[in-house]
Amino acid sequence: MTKEVLLMIALRWLNFQKPYLLKNKLFIFLILFQTSLSSQNSTNATQATANPIIDGNVLDDSAWNNANVITNFTQKSPDEGEPSSEKTIVKLIYSSKFLYVSVVCYDSNPDGIVISDSRRDAPLNNTDSFMFVLDTFKDQQNGYVFGTNAAGIEYDAQVIGGDGMSMNSSRQSVGVGANLNINWDASWEVKTIIGDFGWSAEFAIPFKTLRFSSQENQNWGINFQRNIAQKNEQSFWAPIPRQFSLNRLSLAGNVTGINIPSSRNIKIMPYALGLSNNANEEDVKSDETKNDFGFDAKIGITSSLNLDVTYNTDFAQVEADEQQINLDRFSLFFPEKRSFFLENAGLFSSGENTFYGPDIEMFFSRRIGIANDGSLVPILGGGRLTGEMGGFKIGALSMQTKEVKNIANAENYGVYRIRKELPNRTNFGALITSKNDLNSSANNKAYALDGAYGIGETIQLKGFLATSDLPADSDNNSDSYAYMLEANRNTQALTTQLRYSEVGKNFNPEMGYVRRLGYRKILFRILNRTRPKDFYGILELRPHITYWSYWDFDGFQQSGYLHIDNHWEFRNGYRIDTAVNFIWEGVKSPFEIVNGVTVPNNSYANSELHTRFNSNLTKPISLIVVSKIGGFFSGNRRNTDTTFRFRLGERFTSEIISKYNDVSLPEGKFYTHLLRSRFTYAFNPQMYIQSLLQYNNQSDQWSMNWRFIWQQSAATGLYIVYNQTQDYDGIPTDLNIRSLVFKYSYLFDID
């Protein structure tokens, strides 16, 4: 349907409306009209007559002269639907090996360009930046994001599901089970320059980095986003309404004209490592030195199928876990940070996620190579096959660990995944996990079915069903199940969510994560987005209500939570949240919340005031303060979480976080305090020093993780890592553990 026909229908419809309804219906139509046409944005990639020089100097490079011009960006924020306040020109060309993308970001105030970080994969929300997404299979569910800021950092990610849900401009999904996996790292190149005109960038994306169909003439989904930090502005080539993000692939435009032969590629990344450990624990001292080697390899079987192989897998360069404080009776969730398991994590993800983390994750990769007590277990090696075959997304992973005496047996871990993706965010799939103890007959298997069904552009239904082998000590041959049903509707003004789930008492996926067992749960959420015009500097109001509750199978309420809130987001980048929470906790068995303080069994009903304040996060100095004051089990609690950020130019960034709880119960008074500081100095986007210092008064322990990283490609380079953990009882004690690691890896790229 053409724009002219749509406009004619609209005008006839509006002609029959009553005058007092005309204004509102005209506004609604214009939004729908813009959204319905967004997918008509189309461009053609031009074959390069000469390859551009990747130095960021777009305006002086003749290789771009014959490329089609992509411009006319539309704001999502602050003035939705209006043309971008600054001109942006994008061009695409390609060779037999590379997709080249250039952008010129004109800026009437180039002195105001904001660069908030110079590290690879640093967030691009609060900096002048440019990103684009590629939907290479045109399935509107999976894609690749590439981006940079004016400093020329490399930012890349995988899109999973294509939902592109966006609470607000400051949120960004990460990690396993999320819609955007920023831990995917590819080998590509980008360079930028800043001038009187603004800033410009040139990208060179190797086709062997991407997965796509084998057809001759490619037709990909594509969209571009520009952030102008000094104006808190986001704009897009194919317009995106306020409730979605760049990752809403169904709203992307099209790029045609790419005609490339399919090719296979092999990447081999060997590493060498030197390690020194020194431990001083309870009058027992030990020293250990170790030299080791291993490799990872990536083998492109076809243009849409990839095999990853690893031998003597090592993760010494990974940043330490962020410590947490547990003030309830359920297990904490620590996210995966190891790159091998984070790649393609979305394909293997199945379960139920919540606002505070997963309730169920059928495959939790931290079960591999990490013992129950947190000790590291050597991984001998393994492999992973991912890609598309016969119209199905497939995945298979097998890993083998080594026996560690008195800590862990030798075990084999397997995960097998198949998923069929259909138009309009619809998919269904199956997953199997298998854990085999090679020292005994102790094995565990779990099975899951999941799916989603999209209705129009605003509604999606989701479902999940799983079962597992029973625990070894179970005397019941049932209740080893879990399931979830969910309905979502997401319009420009309103987001609603309704979910029901159950988990049996004997559900036992040993390769997964289950926060609690034996419950029925209901969750409901409704959120409104309103953008008033010229109202005390407010950009957007987001009043919302969230309710969830867990009951056991006897009808006893284990937990309940009612959150009534409004987010006040201002045009100057500030934000204030004002909320009240109503909390119910049912304790059947007393539990020790901290040493010496036990919460007795009872049913507790409390309320608390909940506020948040943050300043403009694009500024060199910013502050976030979250406060909760109110009832807590049988007493009261004051909670304050403070985040202070400071940056000096584009090279030095710092963040200091304090999480403080002051708890007063009839059973005892106590406080908890977690301090975390992270400092980074970037010599350039590939070389930086980072430190993570933490103190936790619950464990009376402080820790330091110091890393020097010199990346020569996305996943290889030189890493020097120093870790220290020390007990602290008012003063540092002699109980400490130190380690120093030197690791070097190199990429051999074989066409």
Tens of pLDDT, residue by residue over 474-505, are 666 678 999 999 999 999 999 999 999 999 99
Is this structure's pTM higher than 0.75?
A: yes
CA–CA gap between residue 728 and residue 29 (Å, rounded): 63
Q: Cβ(98)–Cβ(51) under 8 Å?
A: yes
CB 384 within 8 A of CB 396: yes
Helix or strand or coil: residue 186? coil
Q: Is the four-CA dihedral 232, 237, 241, 247 of positive or negative sign? A: negative
Q: DSSP assignment, residue 509?
A: -
Contact 202, 54 (CB under 8 A): yes
Q: What is the pLDDT of residue 735?
A: 62
Predicted local distance difference test score (pLDDT) of residue 106: 98
The CATH number of the structural domain formed by 39-259 is 2.60.40.1190
Q: Looking at residue 4, what DSSP letter applies?
A: H
Is the separation of the CB atoms in 321 and 232 below 8 Å? no
pLDDT of residue 9: 42
CA distance 705 to 701: 14
The pLDDT value given to residue 214: 78
Domain ranges of the chain: 39-259
Helix, coil or strand: residue 21: helix
pLDDT digits (tens, 9 = 90+) for 538-576: 999 999 999 999 999 999 999 999 999 999 999 999 999
Under DSSP, the state recorded for 600 is: P
Structure tokens at 318: 């990974």
Q: What is the pLDDT of residue 287?
A: 80
Token code pair at residue 412: 């084999």
pLDDT at site 168: 40
CA 162 to mean position of chain CA atoms? 13
pLDDT of 290: 86
> Whose CA is closest to 609, among 644, 583, 642, 635?
583
Q: Token pair 């049903």 is at which residue?
A: 485
Decide if 223 contacts 133 (C-beta within 8 A): yes
- Peptide bond before residue 78 is cis, with ω within 30 degrees of 0: yes
SS3 of residue 339 by DSSP:
helix
**Regions in the chain scoring below 50 on pLDDT:** 1-39, 167-177
Q: Are 118 and 150 in contact (CB under 8 A)?
A: no
User: Which among 262, 263, 258, 261 is positioned nearest to 48, based on CA atoms?
Assistant: 258
Cα pseudo-dihedral 365, 366, 368, 371, rounded to 10: -160
